[in-house]
Amino acid sequence: MIIMSADLGLARTGVAVSDNGESFAFPKTVITEYNTQRLIEKLITCSNEYGAELVVMGLPKNMDGTEGERANKCRAIAKEFEEKSGIKTVLWDERCTTVTAHNILNMNDKRGKKRKETVDAVAAVIILENYLQARKNR
């Protein structure tokens, strides 16, 4: 099954996709969109283009496990996306994924504009890899 992930941000949303065997996650794109409705439509377009049968959206929890305003917004986006697209959507804890993405980009010497353009897609890959690993272990 092809699984798509999204690292939802205030301005940029990273998108990654798994292979059909659910073994690998690949960065696909970064959507720059401030309007929630247009973001949802762009995510639906991506999910259709990539043939996603399941979508995993990052849920930004606080370090103590509680959820704040941003988590509530992500829940609402995930719910609306699922209703409009008809694709099952799962929320996945995304704590520390952006920090990890920055560390990966540091190790690969990605800096400046190139880094800003890719960090959200790398974070989406990390979310998807974590989800795939947990799915495999079930």
Span between the terminal Cα atoms of the chain, in Å: 16
Q: Which secondary structure element, helix H or strand E, spans residue 32, and what is its range?
A: strand 25-32
Neighbouring C-alpha atoms within 13 Å toward the C-beta of 27: 16
CATH number, domain of 77, equals 3.30.420.140
pTM of the model: 0.85
- Report the share of the chain in percent with pLDDT over 90: 60
**In this predicted model, which residue has the larger pLDDT, 4 or 134?**
4
- CA angle at residue 38 from 66 to 83, to 5 degrees? 65
Q: Count how many domains the chain has.
A: 1
Q: Residue 129 pLDDT > 80, yes or no?
A: yes
Q: Which secondary structure element, helix H or strand E, spans residue 90, and what is its range?
A: strand 88-93
The DSSP line for 55-76 is: EEEEE-B-TTS-B-HHHHHHHH
**In this predicted model, which residue has the larger pLDDT, 108 or 74?**
74
| Enclosing domain of residue 85 | 3-137
